[in-house]
């Protein structure tokens, strides 16, 4: 019972929070703060119990598995931190009660998905999550149709694919129990195997924004408030990964249908490459991060697709890690938006002087995102490469490498465009973000730092959850990574070495000519002797990667969005034709009746 209580409590609390906000803003904020604290505390202390009941002749079952609890950790931690972050971030806006209602509903929906043991309850919570996130996507009231409805339509396509799979599974196996489905999956006919797995993969691919179905993601991530986007990209998209992992791995272990895994891996790789390329050319920080999210989710799909032990480990590790660093980055973007009201690269510059803490959190996140030592991103990248190498995916690894190298481009663009470059007078009154916004970012940065040297902290959970997926005896060490060929890297040595050399040279370079080292303003630059006037700003923000664009533009011209749009228009036009049937003329209608009668006679005479 205690399982379902956590969700019902969240939904109930959501409504209470709504009421509290109607009464008083401060009271509402207190309610939000309370649940942000209570959620992790409750989650990490309660004893899980299974629970089931009957609805409409269907059995709904609830209970965490060792696999889903891994994601639940992410949801709970990120949910709590984003809630805390939201309190100052959203403070100036209206309709807060509505916002938090949906916020908590989507957290509840996610936890519900994770604790659903049957498909129907999974679907119900999936849809609750979808519409609550949709309501937040359109919360700002901007681009509601262009972005919001698009998001809802793609989500619906995914969800309905899942629904179709559910009813088919229900028919084939007589129950909607998830584990029963996977156990009996091997007995299905080939068509059933392919159909059900394809439908489920489609469903989960939409949420995790895999390539042909990613179209909604950039705009939806951009349009929702940043405090929610942290959760959206960090945790909500992981629900797709959760389902995809289940399906992909179960397919592998039960049937050995390698083709699906390969296809998934290739899709993931293409997603990673194209999304990264798009991210490189974005001019809005939120969009950049959104495309980057899609790319990272592509990596995860690759890891799941190859389906070896290292691959799945990499995917799960990256899934958690992505929650952390993309959480930080979206929060940083939110902090910038909160303080300056701008998100476009052409308007932002030099914020490191004003928001150093935000900068260093973002820097840590970016280093992790780019996969550089000494942070934890290296581990996820390393695991993916080693998995690809040992499973001999020659070309996938090249694609992934292309993507992650191109990722440096947007990483630099983000840091430079926002934080570095010349200072401008209009940021003079910008202040560092409020403490409550910084705390989540800094906490997560520490998490990234710790995981960079001691990934074992999270490998512990991953190995136990991988046993659920059929990988028993996953070996892991606190800070040593081993690939399938027995090659190891010692993270402690690597990171200590780096830090020590860094520290030694830091001392040297700081001490040499210390008294004669001056810090000058960013307008004091070597500019062919021309002094930069107060009204000038030489920040580089236009056509940032023009040469790169010239190289890859032949490929990037083709966008799948155009195809989708023309398809949708085509449907509209097609039904416009039918609209002419309803002429509005009574005689025509009478004629229809006669014609219908004639046809019915003919059909009836032959058919009945």
Partner 1 sequence: MDIWKLLLTGSVTTVLAFVVGMLYMGLRRKITARVQNRVGPPIYQNFLDVMKLWSKKSSINHGFMQHVAPLWMIATSITTLMFIPILNNGSTFFTNLTFEGDLIMLLYLMVVGSLGMALGAGQTGNPNSAIGVTRGLTQMVGFEIPWVMALVALMIQHRTTTVAGLLDVQVQSGTWLMLSSPFAFIAALLAIPGMFRYSPFDIVGAPAELASGPISEFGGKYLGTMMTNGAIFAFVKLTLFVDIFMGGASNLGFLLLKTFALYMFPVLWGLVSPRFRTEQAVRFFWGWPVFFGVLGLIQAAI
Partner 2 sequence: MVADPILYVALPLLTAFLLPIIGKINKELIRIVPGLLFAFLVYNSIALFSKVSATHTPIIVEIAGWAPPIGINLVYSSFTGFIATIISVLALLVWAYSYKFKKLEFDNSLKYFVLLMLVTAGSIGVILTGDLFNQFVFLEIVALSSYPLVAFYRGRNGAEASFKYLLVGGFASLSILLGIVLIYSQLGTLNMADIAAHIDEMPRNIKIVSFTLLFLGFAIEAEMFPLNGWAPDTYSQAPGPIGAVFAGMTAKAGIYALIRMIYTIFDFSGAFEILLIMGVITLVVSEGIALRQENLKRMLAYSSLGQMGLLMIAFGINTKTAVIAGMLILFNHAVIKSLLFLSSSFLVYNSKDKLIKDAYGMGKKLPLTAILFGIGAFAIVGLPPFSGFWGKLYLLMASADANLLGLIALILAVSVIEIVYYFRVVNGVYFKKSKTEIEVHKPRWNASLAMIILAAAIIVVGIYPNIIYDYLVNAADTLLDKASYISHVLPNLASN
Partner 3 sequence: MVNDKESQKIVDIIQNFARQSSLFVLAYGTGCGAIEIPPTMTSRYDAERFGIRGAATPRQADVLLITGYLATKSLKRVIRAYEQMQNPKYIIGFGSCTINGGMYWDSYNTINRLDMYIPVDVYINGCMPRPEAVIAGFAKLQKLIQAGKADGWDRYQKNLEFYRGNQKKIIHNWVMPDYNW
Spatial separation of the C-alpha atoms in residues 323 and 329, rounded to whole Å = 10
**Contact stretch for partner 3 (CB under 8 A) within 23-31, 331-339, 379-387, 517-525:** 517-525
Return the range that interacts with partner 3 (CB under 8 A); candidates 39-47, 123-131, 357-365, 525-533.
525-533
**Rg of the chain's alpha carbons, rounded to an integer?**
26
529 binds, among partner 2, partner 1, partner 3, none (CB under 5 to 8 A by kind): partner 3
570 binds partner 3 (CB under 8 A): no
Question: Residue 505 or residue 601: which is nearer to partner 1 going by CB?
Answer: 505
- Choose from partner 3, partner 1, partner 2, none: what does 531 bind? Cβ within 5-8 Å by kind: partner 3
CA distances from 310 to 385, 389, 536 (A): 9, 10, 53
| The entry of partner 1, partner 2, partner 3, none that residue 601 binds, CB within 5 to 8 Å by partner kind | partner 2
Stretch that binds partner 3, among 132-140, 298-306, 408-416, 518-526 (CB under 8 A): 518-526
For residue 505, the minimal CB distance to partner 1 (Å) is: 5
Of the candidate spans 127-135, 262-270, 523-531, 586-594, the one that interacts with partner 3 by CB under 8 A turns out to be 523-531
508 binds partner 3 (CB under 8 A): no
Q: Which does 466 bind (CB under 5 to 8 A by kind): partner 1, partner 2, partner 3, none?
A: none
- What values do phi and psi take at 429, rounded to 5? -95, 10
Compare residues 530 and 543 and give the one whose CB is closer to partner 3: 530
* Helix residue ranges per DSSP H, 174-214: 178-184, 190-207
Answer for the pair 375, 325: CB distance below 8 angstroms, yes or no. no
Q: Are 371 and 295 in contact (CB under 8 A)?
A: no
What's the rounded Cα separation, in Å, for the pair 441 and 82? Answer: 9
Nearer to partner 3, 47 or 513 (CB): 513
- Give the position of tokens 């992909």: 248
Residue nearer to partner 2 on the CB measure, 509 or 597: 597
How many residues would you count in the chain? 608
Q: Are 294 and 214 in contact (CB under 8 A)?
A: yes
Which of partner 1, partner 3, partner 2, none binds 382 (CB below 5-8 Å, type-dependent)? Answer: partner 1
Among 1, 47, 508, 533, binds partner 3 (CB under 8 A): 533
- From the CB of 156, what's the least distance to partner 2, in Å? 5
**482 membership: H or E segment, kind and range:** strand 480-482
Select 1 or 511, whichever has its Cβ closest to partner 3.
Answer: 511
Helices (H), 281-376: 285-306, 309-340, 356-370
- Angle, nearest 10°, between helix axes 119-137 and 96-115? 160
Gap between the Cα atoms of 154 and 559, Å rounded: 17
Question: What would the two tokens of residue 96 be?
Answer: 């807060």
Q: Which of 521, 593, 597, 598 binds partner 3 (CB under 8 A)?
A: 521
Residue ranges in contact with partner 3 by CB under 8 A: 516, 518, 520-521, 523-524, 526, 528-531, 533
């Amino acid at each position: 019972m205690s399982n379902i209580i956590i969700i019902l409590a969240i939904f109930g609390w959501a409504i209470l929070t709504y009421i509290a906000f109607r009464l008083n803003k401060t009271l509402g904020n207190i309610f939000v703060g309370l649940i942000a604290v209570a959620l992790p505390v409750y989650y990490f202390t309660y004893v899980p119990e299974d629970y089931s009941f009957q609805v409409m002749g269907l059995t709904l079952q609830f209970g965490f598995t060792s696999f889903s609890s891994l994601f639940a950790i992410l949801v709970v931690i990120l949910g709590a931190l984003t809630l805390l972050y939201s309190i100052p971030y959203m403070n100036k806006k209206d309709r807060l009660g509505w916002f938090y209602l949906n916020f908590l509903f989507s957290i509840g929906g996610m936890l519900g998905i994770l604790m659903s043991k049957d498909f129907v309850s999974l679907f119900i919570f999936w849809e609750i999550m979808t519409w609550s996130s949709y309501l937040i996507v359109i919360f700002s009231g901007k681009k509601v149709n262009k972005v919001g409805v698009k998001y809802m339509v793609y989500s619906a396509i995914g969800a309905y694919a899942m629904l179709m799979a559910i009813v088919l599974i229900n028919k084939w196996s007589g129950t909607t129990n998830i584990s029963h489905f996977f156990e009996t999956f091997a007995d299905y006919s080939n068509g059933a195997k392919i159909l059900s797995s394809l439908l489920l993969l489609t469903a989960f691919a939409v949420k995790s924004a895999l390539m042909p179905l990613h179209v909604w993601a950039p705009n939806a991530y951009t349009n929702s408030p940043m405090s929610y986007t942290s959760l959206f990209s960090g945790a909500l998209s992981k629900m797709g990964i959760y389902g995809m992992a289940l399906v992909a791995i179960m397919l592998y272990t039960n049937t050995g249908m390698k083709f699906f895994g390969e296809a998934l891996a290739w899709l993931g790789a293409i997603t990673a490459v194209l999304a990264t390329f798009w991210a490189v050319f974005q001019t809005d920080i939120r969009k950049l991060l959104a495309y980057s999210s899609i790319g990272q989710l592509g990596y995860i799909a690759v890891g799941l697709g190859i389906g070896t032990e290292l691959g799945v480990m990499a995917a799960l590790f990256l899934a958690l890690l992505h929650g952390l660093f993309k959480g930080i980055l979206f929060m940083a973007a939110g902090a910038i938006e909160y303080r300056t009201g701008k998100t476009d690269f052409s308007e932002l510059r030099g914020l490191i002087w004003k928001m150093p803490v935000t900068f260093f959190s973002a820097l840590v996140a970016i280093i992790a995102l780019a996969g550089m030592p000494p942070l934890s991103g290296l581990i996820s990248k390393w695991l993916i490469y080693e998995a690809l190498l040992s499973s001999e995916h020659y070309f996938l690894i090249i694609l992934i490498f292309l993507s992650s190298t191109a990722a440096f481009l947007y990483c630099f663009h983000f840091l430079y465009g926002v934080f570095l470059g010349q200072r401008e007078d209009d940021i003079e009154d910008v202040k560092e973000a409020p403490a409550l916004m910084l705390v989540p970012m800094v906490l997560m940065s520490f998490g990234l730092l710790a995981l960079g040297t001691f990934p074992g902290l999270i490998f512990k959970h991953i190995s136990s959850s991988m046993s659920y997926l059929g990988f028993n005896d996953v070996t892991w060490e606190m800070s040593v990574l081993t690939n399938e060929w027995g090659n190891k890297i010692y993270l402690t040595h690597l990171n200590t070495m780096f830090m020590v050399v860094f520290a030694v040279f830091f001392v040297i370079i700081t001490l040499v000519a210390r008294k004669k080292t001056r810090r000058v303003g960013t307008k004091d630059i070597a500019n062919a002797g021309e002094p930069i006037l107060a009204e000038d700003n030489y920040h580089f923000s236009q056509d940032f990667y023009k040469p790169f664009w010239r190289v890859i533009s032949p490929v990037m011209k083709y966008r799948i969005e155009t195809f989708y749009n023309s398809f949708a228009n085509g449907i509209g036009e097609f039904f416009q034709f039918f609209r002419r049937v309803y002429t509005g003329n009574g005689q025509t209608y009478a004629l229809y009746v006669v014609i219908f009668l004639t046809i019915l006679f003919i059909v009836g005479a032959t058919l009945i």
